Amino acid sequence: MSRVWNFSAGPAALPLEVLQQAQADLLDWNGSGASVMELSHRGKPFMAMAAQAEADLRELLAIPAHYAVLFLQGGATQHFAQIPMNLAAPGDRADYVLTGHWSEKAVSEAGPYVQTRIVASSKEQGYRCLPLVDTAALDPDAAYLHYVANETIHGIEWRQPPPSGHLPLVADMSSNILSAPVDIERHGIVYAGAQKNIGPSGLVVMIIRRDLLAREGRPMANVLRYREQAAADSMLNTPNTWGWYLAGLTFKWILAQGGLAAIEAGNIRKSGLLYQAIDGSGGFYRNPVDPAARSRMNVPFTLHDPALDALFLEQSAAAGLMALKGHKAVGGMRASIYNAVPLAAVEALVAFMAEFARRYG
Ligand SMILES: Cc1ncc(COP(=O)(O)O)c(C=O)c1O
């Protein structure tokens, strides 16, 4: 067996121990004689596993009791639309912060369901920094304020949530959830597609303040209504049982690493090493993001001569470094270094980059 160092932006690397546990469980989970994928979500073993996964997530993020935790489907993109459906009545307005590709997408998907307004944006700066959010500029009657905690493509991350005045703050944490402690109580909703720091795609984890479940929103099917999903313990219909199970294994893995403080320390070390290699390359590699806003999860960088891009990708792949091609919106390279990407992977990348720069600089 040979596994590569995987820098994919998502679906992304999962912890080796989680994959090994899943492999060991695949044919006979918990002595049931069947895979977890083959068992009813209504059965006791699955219900117990599901409840434990929620309890572990609550412990990791110190989620207070007045927040519900939902395990949903549809990907973060569907919730770009479903959040305004649930939180905003027809005719309502909502405020958005623009920091890159995913916040633009959140605005466009919300468009049919709420009157969106951009209250802060770094678009004019090419999404290379975080904008200032002035609470005096917020719409006092907005249904909520939405931001993207980590822009997966532009490599920009909020260290602290933006101020939201009295508005419920809604955070898309798809690409940085569980990478560091978060003040849940600053938020009305935290949600994340699972396929970066949690598990496989097809699962969305949502942490929602219970008072928001009382909002009537707009007329919609029960299956789309967060209140109904919360009342049914996210089992209004058949949930993504495999995703939920893998998420549970990842939560246990993070607890075993020492929780989010330990995970954050590892992420600071890994990202620090990579940014140092870029900044110290004498201009051979460049990252354009304001250092205060640099993501610890997604590190885009360009080569001083784009004609070398194809060679860099070819040689890095041959060296066992996978998925370094940058998103077409920003070009160049991108190394996604989520929780499950070990320090050794970043060390291997940095060593490769130094050698490549020596050869072609
Ligand atoms: C920050 C962020 N938000 C939303 C999405 C969209 O997620 P999905 O494809 O699960 O809908 C992504 C996907 O990469 C993302 O990185």
Q: Ligand 1: does its nearest atom lie under 6 Å from the Cβ of 73?
A: no
172 carries a ligand binding annotation: yes
For residue 233, indicate whether it is catalytic. Answer: no
Quick one: which of 132, 139, 183, 185 has its CA closest to 165? 139
Indicate the domain borders of the chain: 16-256, 258-360
Tell me: is residue 77 an annotated ligand-binding position: yes
Ligand 1 pocket, residue 100 CB under 6 Å: no
Give which of 7, 78, 68 is closest to 228, Cα–Cα: 68
CB atoms under 10 Å from CB of 69, counted, come to 19
123 is catalytic: no
CA-based nearest residue to 221, from 78, 41, 67: 78
Ligand 1 center–CA 75 separation, angstroms: 7
**Residue 336 CB–ligand 1 contact under 6 Å:** no
CA distance 257 to 268: 15
Token pair of 354 as six digits: 């130094």
CATH level 3 topology of 16-256 = Aspartate Aminotransferase; domain 2 (3.40.640)
Q: Does the beta carbon of 297 sit less than 6 angstroms from any atom of ligand 1?
A: no
Task: Kindly report the protein residue whose alpha carbon is nearest to atom 7 of ligand 1.
Answer: 76
Structure tokens at 141: 């009657």
pLDDT number for residue 1: 65
Helix/strand/coil for 30: helix
**Any known ligand binding at 238?**
yes
Residue 2 pLDDT: 83
Q: Give Cα 184 to chain centroid, integer Å.
A: 15
Domains 16-256 and 258-360 agree in fold: no
- Return the exposure string of 223-238: e unless at least 16 CB atoms fall within 10 Å of the residue's CB, then b: ebbbbebbeebbbbee
Cα of 321 to ligand 1 centre, how many Å?
23
CATH for the 258-360 domain, from 3.40.50.1000, 3.90.1150.10, 3.40.50.1820, 1.20.210.10: 3.90.1150.10
User: 201 alpha carbon to ligand 1 midpoint, in Å?
Assistant: 10
DSSP string covering 150-210: EETTTTEE-SSPPP-TTSPEEEE-TTTTTSS---GGG-SEEEEESTTTTSSSS-EEEEEEG
**Centroid of ligand 1 to alpha carbon of 193 (angstroms):** 6
| Active-site position among 5, 29, 102, 253 | 102
Q: Which pLDDT score, from 0 to 100, does residue 157 have?
A: 98
What is the chain's pLDDT, residue by residue, as a tens digit (361 residues)? 689 999 999 999 999 999 999 999 999 999 999 999 999 999 999 999 999 999 999 999 999 999 999 999 999 999 999 999 999 999 999 999 999 999 999 999 999 999 999 999 999 999 999 999 999 999 999 999 999 999 999 999 999 999 999 999 999 999 999 999 999 999 999 999 999 999 999 999 999 999 999 999 999 999 999 999 999 999 999 999 999 999 999 999 999 999 999 999 999 999 999 999 999 999 999 999 999 999 999 999 999 999 999 999 999 999 999 999 999 999 999 999 999 999 999 999 999 999 999 999 9
Between CA 298 and CA 151 the distance in angstroms is 8
